[in-house]
A and B are shown apart, each in its own frame.
Chain A
């Protein structure tokens, strides 16, 4: 029973994908919709197979992943560093709050054009958009995590006369880790979106650019193929964070496969 529950998704996920594909195929056949608008799944898979042969696809993929990861890296530094700092220094948080919120309420898409003006058509503006999009959830989660340290735990450190650094590194940071990682999960997805949106806006490289190119060529099956590629890469990025979570907070409930029975 437990075994079935634990490994259920290995069956349900492929089954659901299969049902979805069959429904899609039946829709294409019976509705008579033009294959140019909605191609049949078989054609899309074939198209994706062809796409995979293209050397340029992997160049574009590499560029997008590179921009995402660099953008995410900066977002982590700003988000975790800034969040920890603001969480520890109340007046700084109050002073900077409107500015942090401002970076979020500006339609960031509008910023892209400005960045391209400043930095040209290379990777820099894309990385910048990626960072701006991703740092916010990381920062707010870190801030919340650092601030919501258990009072009993603080008493322990205080009674042991721990230094500020010891309290930060052994208590506050570790207790904030689950929240920080929850921020990273959202952050990596936003960093990815940021990079692609940046590529939409200008330049000649990346999966976002390729999407635009196929759109101009009215290449619907190609677009579907890229969609598959984009989705798969997104999954890989997200999975990387899950792996990091397992490594960093093995003690946390979110990592548990099953609830342990208290011993004795």
Chain B
């Protein structure tokens, strides 16, 4: 039976309801993120784009449960992330995070790093390593499972970090400029890879970058942020069919979106 399913109203995967963040510092309060609402649908690829210091990391860390908002609600996988000062365990299990630095533990081999989240969950060693090997295959670092992290290049370490974030099959993948430290060519490759992985995992992605090209290439929807305090400046739907090839970057439609975003960014000063 191959009948098209009717569109069912599914609650959004991530809901940021009036979130705001102020940091208390030695010389006063920093208003990092102004009252903001963001919704991310299931399996959507959302990119947060904006100049340095506009609060992208702060927003992502609030979704990740690493920062508590000063005001507002964070709902992840249809659950309140914060209950008082406590984070919701079930919601946390649906979040996989990739940071700008790979943050692999140098004292674990690659496979032990990838399997770390499973170890924390009490999964047995054999099962853990089986899963780690499958993931190393998925992110194309097969054959490097037994190496120390420092023996791998930056791009490969970041692949391992992605594998680690995927190891417990989270519904949501959060990435904070994951390829920011890589050279341009490796970066293009990694963007193709992340598209492939996202399509095979059927997960929801929130991806932070300050590269316009990267944003347009990857996103279903680009949320442009303006700084001090961070707030939504514009939302752009990007509807190129998938899987996208690097070549779409030369298409006039692609370049038109890039140009519009660049003008908006420049207008921020």
Contacts and interface: CB of A to CB of B under 8 A. Distances in A.
Contacts of B151: 260, 262-263
Interface stretch (A158-166, A213-221, A234-242): A158-166
B189 to A, nearest CB: 11
Contacts of A161: 87, 89, 92-93, 120
Contacts of A251: 106-108, 148, 150
Most chain B C-beta atoms within 10 Å of own C-beta, residue among A160, A162, A171: A160
A169 to B, nearest CB: 11
Given A262-B151, A263-B147, A162 B120 contact: yes
Interface in B111-158: 116-117, 119-120, 144, 147-148, 150-153, 156
Interface residues of B, number: 28
B101 interface: yes
A249 B87 CA distance: 34
B66 interface: yes
A159 B95 contact: yes
A153 interface: yes
Nearest to B174: A159
Contacts of A264: 152-153, 156
A65 B103 CA distance: 43
B254 interface: no
B107 A156 contact: no
Interface string A159-186: 1111000100011001101000000000
A160 B123 CA distance: 14
A46 B124 CA distance: 61
A160 B105 CA distance: 14
A157 to B, nearest CB: 8
Contacts of B213: none
4 closest Cβ contacts across the A-B interface?
A152-B103, A262-B153, A174-B107, A159-B97
Interface of A: 150, 152-153, 155-156, 158-162, 166, 170-171, 174-175, 177, 249, 251-252, 260, 262-264
30 contacts: A150-B103, A152-B99, A152-B101, A152-B103, A153-B103, A153-B105, A155-B97, A155-B99, A156-B99, A156-B105, A156-B116, A159-B64, A159-B65, A159-B66, A159-B92, A159-B95, A159-B97, A160-B116, A160-B117, A160-B120, A170-B105, A170-B119, A170-B120, A174-B105, A251-B107, A252-B106, A252-B107, A263-B153, A263-B156, A264-B153
